[in-house]
Amino acid sequence: MFTGLVEGRGRVDEIRSDSASIFLVMAVPEEVAEGAAVGDSVALNGCCLTVVELNGNRLSFQAGTETLSKTNLGKLKAGDSVNLERPLAADGRLGGHFVQGHVDGVGQVDAIERDGEWVTMWFQVPTQLAAQMVPKGSVAVDGISLTLVNVERQRFSVALIPHTLEATTLGIREIGDDVNIETDILGKYVQNFLNPERDTSE
């Protein structure tokens, strides 16, 4: 379980691929690498992956077919920045919201509206994901816990403070970029309760 409070940005050092998966080697900040061990979980752009190798501040992960089909990790290139977060400690503070690290789908940056140092960013998403959102509710975008401002049938907006733009990859996103979306787990349960016979294969 994560909080959506990004601990730092990592850099893709190397990518190797085969027919079923990709192997990601990430250079990560010291605070993320400290105490890391093979088998640990780390959220990369909000997607929970397992550390399979480590060498100092270089952590390696594997992402399989299912992960690549539901996230933007398959589009990463060497040199790209990635949001990183370690799991929430049992005695840690929950400053964001409960984020599982199970990405629901990919959205696209639809509009970027600047107002001084602040930015309102709009994201285009599939209808079934927008249906799980409400204004003032929570959403994770590339692993970042954000408060929803406006929600429409196929898009939503968030207000980004200067710190978020500086500390995460949202500060370098451009219109059309893919982002990982995880809706609030409470919204999923409510939707399932209200529509128990809906098709969950979407």
In this predicted model, what pLDDT tens digit does every residue of 168-177 receive, in sequence order? Answer: 999 999 999 9
The 10s digit of each residue's pLDDT in 95-111 is 778 899 999 999 999 99
| Residue-level pLDDT at 92 | 74
Domain boundaries, given as residue ranges, for the chain: 8-85, 105-194
| Residue-level pLDDT at 187 | 75
> Rounded CA gap, 75 and 24, in Å?
12
Which residues partner with 155 through β-bridges? Answer: 124
Fold matches, 8-85 and 105-194: yes
Cβ atoms of 9 and 82 closer than 8 Å? yes
| Residue-level pLDDT at 197 | 67
Question: How far from each other are the two terminal CA atoms of the chain, in whole angstroms?
Answer: 24
Over the chain, what is the mean pLDDT? 92
Residue with more model confidence, 193 or 49: 49
Confirm or reject CATH 2.40.30.20 for domain 105-194, answering yes or no: yes
pLDDT at residue 191 tops 90: no
* CA pseudo-torsion sign 61, 93, 163, 70: positive
Average pLDDT, integer, range 117-131: 96
> Rounded CA gap, 192 and 44, in Å?
27
**Please, which pLDDT band fits residue 35 given cuts at 50, 70 and 90?**
confident
Q: Which contiguous run of DSSP H or E holds residue 50?
A: strand 47-55
pLDDT at residue 200 tops 80: no
Share of the chain above pLDDT 90, in %: 79
CATH number listed for the domain at residues 8-85 = 2.40.30.20
pLDDT at residue 49 tops 90: yes
> Rounded CA gap, 108 and 33, in Å?
30
Burial bucket for residue 10 (CB in 10 Å: 0-12, 13-18, 19+): buried
| Residue-level pLDDT at 198 | 60
Residue with more model confidence, 138 or 92: 138
| DSSP SS3 for 169 | helix
> Rounded CA gap, 144 and 98, in Å?
11
Q: What is the largest CA-CA distance in the chain?
A: 49
Q: pTM of this prediction?
A: 0.90
Q: Please give the structure tokens belonging to residue 179.
A: 């982002």
